[in-house]
């Protein structure tokens, strides 16, 4: 979580612009159903809405590559695999749900490098939340992500998981 804009606010210290118009594409959900995809949510905006600015783990992928840590989904030209876990996030009022994680498989001897590199990005997910057996997170099938794309793991790869926005 990078920042929270109070009810009705459209800008803040980390957002020098307008939260309603400055994101490339918005997905608007009404009662849990996708209602619109639009580059401008001004028409959907209500004074009581609260905005949460979240970081993205894509931010640290360049640093992983610079450190020589392979990033398989980039090598394969697909989106990072993401999974709903059995771990609950801390709720805020009526907003809550399971933790979602992104997974990047890598050689076991590169995991410590990945932890060191990504720990330097605490605002965009930081260090991994789990390394190893996906079943410990409630992920039954690592080859069937809930979001993103499956990634082919190389022999000797270990799955490494980061919290995902």
pLDDT of 37 reads 93
pLDDT of 160 reads 96
Strand-strand pairing, 82-88 and 51-53: unpaired
Q: Which CATH architecture has domain 57-164?
A: 2-Layer Sandwich (3.30)
pLDDT of 122 reads 77
Q: Show me where the domains of the chain are located.
A: 3-53, 57-164
pLDDT of 133 reads 97
Q: Quick one: average pLDDT of 34-53?
A: 90
pLDDT exceeds cutoff 90 at 135: yes
pLDDT exceeds cutoff 90 at 107: yes
Tens-digit pLDDT profile for residues 72-105: 999 999 999 999 999 988 776 777 789 899 999 9
Could you tell me the two tokens for 88? 């609950």
What mean pLDDT, rounded, does the chain reach?
89
pLDDT band at 1 (very low <50, low <70, confident <90, very high): low
C-alpha span between 35 and 129 (Å, rounded): 32
Q: Quick one: average pLDDT of 19-39?
A: 89
pLDDT band at 57 (very low <50, low <70, confident <90, very high): low
Say what the pTM is: 0.72
What is each CA distance from 147 to 62, 100, 108, in whole angstroms?
21, 9, 25
pLDDT band at 17 (very low <50, low <70, confident <90, very high): confident
Structural contact between residues 130 and 136, judged by C-beta atoms closer than 8 angstroms: yes
Query: Higher model confidence: residue 138 or residue 27?
Result: 138
């Amino acid at each position: 979580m990078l920042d929270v804009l109070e009810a009705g606010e459209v800008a803040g210290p980390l957002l020098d612009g307008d939260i309603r118009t400055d994101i490339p594409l918005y997905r608007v959900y009404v009662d849990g159903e996708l209602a619109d995809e639009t580059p401008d949510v001004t028409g959907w905006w209500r004074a009581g809405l609260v905005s949460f600015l979240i970081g993205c783990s894509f931010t640290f992928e360049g640093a992983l590559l610079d450190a020589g840590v392979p990033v398989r989904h980039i090598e394969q030209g697909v989106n990072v695999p993401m999974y709903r876990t059995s771990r609950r996030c801390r709720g805020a009022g009526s907003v809550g749900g399971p933790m979602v994680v992104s997974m990047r498989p890598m050689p076991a001897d590169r995991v410590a490098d990945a932890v060191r590199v990504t720990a330097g990005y605490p605002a965009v997910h930081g260090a991994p939340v789990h390394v190893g057996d996906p079943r410990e997170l409630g992920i039954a099938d690592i080859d069937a992500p809930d979001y993103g794309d499956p990634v082919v793991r190389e022999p000797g790869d270990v799955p490494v998981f980061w919290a995902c926005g």
